[in-house]
Structure 1
Amino acid sequence: MNDAKILIVDDERSIAEMMATVLRKEGFTHIDLVFDGEAALAACGQQRYEMILLDVMMPGLSGLEICPFIRQITDAPILFLTARTSDFDKLSGFAVGGDDYITKPFNPLEVVARIRAQLRRYTQAKPQSSQPAGIYNFGRFQVDESEATLTVEGSVSPCPALVFQLLLFLCKHPNRLFSKSELYRRVWGEELYHDDNTVMVHIHRIRERIERDPSKPEYLVNIRGMGYKLILPKGTT
């Protein structure tokens, strides 16, 4: 895990350099720093990163503006760093492709813990050759565990790591109802201590990929007050 390549994007050089120093003390050795959105896009095009720390408020292109473009290049976890604290701002970060959100000022060791958690999930989402893997066919779409790909109507659909991990979990348990807290525990590996929107945001991102009309889901349905389940159409395996 400590050999993961990490990109830190923050126009406040002191924060970026402090975070890099802390990460190096924690054993991470492959760390790049850039200080604006344009440089971040260039770095992601030239290097494959396993983790990206992305400031929201930057002159020129903001973190929220460049995140969708980064998502076209990589499915690496993106952790937003920002002084904004409202629920709307957090949901905006998730909506454009972010995986986690931490507000300034922050405890650097908490950021390190979040990075380790995201890297662990990112690694778990990637298939291991020693583990059995399969192809889950739902008619309109197929999930290939060994290739870590989602194919919708014959075309591969880019899928961030946590979105793919949640979809894969549901594919492995078709027609079974899961509460939001159970999905969070089984996929994120943590207890859901308060009612946040993380699971719902990721459910929406799955629906955007697999449903004909995400507002009228046929596959990933919600049972009001109970949870979500992925329906396996008759005649598919």
Structure 2
Amino acid sequence: MTDHLLVVDDDLGLRELLADYLGRNGFRVTGVGDGRGLWAALEREPVDLVILDLMLPGDDGLTLCRTLRARSPIPILMLTARGDDTDRIVGLEMGADDYLPKPFNPRELLARIKSILRRTRNAPAEPGEVRRFQFAGWTLDVADRQLTAPDGVLVPLGASEYRLLRVFLEHPRRVLSRDRLLDLTQGREATPFDRSIDVQVSRLRRRLRDDPREATLIKTVRNEGYLLAAQVHREF
């Protein structure tokens, strides 16, 4: 089945360029110019990934990203024309799965889209694979990517939060460096001053109700990285 991409950018020329380029590379592309178009497109038909510009008329990209993430686990790739790291960090905090600064090479955009889709595929577990993780009263169901709190409440997870939690659960009680976490969750190396993993750990801690000042689940190991301190049980 052809993946359906939704491009949200007020630059009509860029939308047409991306629709042509991505269409020639096997994707079906819908383009809209603002938040109203985004919500209308999502109501009409399923979307596999949203490419969301930061600067938009009306609600900006960060606002739309936060609202969309609260409603849906659809992967989000943010575009920003501003070279400010703060925008990128806030975008990740709002729930974006990746970001790409403008101007960009379309081939890099294509590579990132394919990488995100590979990482976020919700394929059923194969025989012999882990179907459920249990830790500190929490349960992560792999098949439907549902996280259940100790009190039975379902906690929504974005795609990047799910990947990060899955990595911690597969490497319990082991210190994982930021570079290692970035490689395992996003398939890329860290750049100098890259804080994306710190942002994602912070988001995941909030989901797990883990106070960063006295973290008991995901602990910071100074100058080394992070560690999931809980004992993990696996169900196959």
Equivalent pair of 1:211/1:217 in contact (CA under 8 Å): no
SS in 1 for 2:6: strand
Per the TM alignment, residue 42 of structure 1 is displaced from its structure 2 partner at its CA by: 2.6
* Selected match of 2:141 from 116, 132, 144: 144
The verdict on how the C-alpha distance between 1:212 and 1:196 changes in structure 2, with shifts beyond 3 A counting, is: closer
SS in 2 for 1:101: strand
* Selected match of 1:72 from 70, 73, 78: 70
Q: Distance in 2 between matches of 1:114 and 1:159?
A: 21
Q: Distance in 2 between matches of 1:145 and 1:12?
A: 39
What 5-or-longer segments of structure 2 have no aligned partner? none
* Selected match of 2:130 from 133, 136, 141: 133
- 1:202 matched to which residue of 2? 200
Corresponding residue pairs, total: 231
Equivalent pair of 1:82/1:102 in contact (CA under 8 Å): yes
Per the TM alignment, residue 7 of structure 1 is displaced from its structure 2 partner at its CA by: 0.4
- 1:15 matched to which residue of 2? 14
Q: Distance in 1 between matches of 2:76 and 2:168?
A: 23
- 1:116 matched to which residue of 2? 114
Q: Does 1:96 align with 2:94?
A: yes
- 1:83 matched to which residue of 2? 81
Does 54-63 or 144-153 show the bigger shift?
A: 144-153
Equivalent pair of 1:44/1:73 in contact (CA under 8 Å): no
Q: Distance in 2 between matches of 1:47 and 1:203?
A: 32
Q: Does 1:3 align with 2:19?
A: no
Equivalent pair of 2:210/2:218 in contact (CA under 8 Å): no
SS in 2 for 1:59: coil
SS in 2 for 1:142: strand
Per the TM alignment, residue 212 of structure 1 is displaced from its structure 2 partner at its CA by: 4.3
- 2:59 matched to which residue of 1? 61
Equivalent pair of 1:211/1:218 in contact (CA under 8 Å): no
Amino acid at match of 2:165: L
- 2:163 matched to which residue of 1? 165
Q: Distance in 2 between matches of 1:221 and 1:48?
A: 38
What 5-or-longer segments of structure 1 have no aligned partner? none
Alignment of 1:188-199 (within 5 A): 188-199=186-197
Give the % identical residues: 33
Amino acid at match of 2:22: L
Post-superposition Cα deviations, 1:101-135, rounded to whole Å, max 9, x if no partner, equal 11222222221111111111112xx2434252232
SS in 1 for 2:214: coil
Q: Distance in 1 between matches of 2:212 and 2:106?
A: 38
Q: What is the RMSD computed on CA atoms of the aligned residues?
A: 1.8
Post-superposition Cα deviations, 1:140-179, rounded to whole Å, max 9, x if no partner, equal 4211112211112311111111210110121122111111
Q: Distance in 2 between matches of 1:92 and 1:198?
A: 10
TM-score by length of 2: 0.91
The verdict on how the C-alpha distance between 1:183 and 1:177 changes in structure 2, with shifts beyond 3 A counting, is: same
Per the TM alignment, residue 50 of structure 1 is displaced from its structure 2 partner at its CA by: 1.5
- 1:34 matched to which residue of 2? 32
Amino acid at match of 2:120: Y
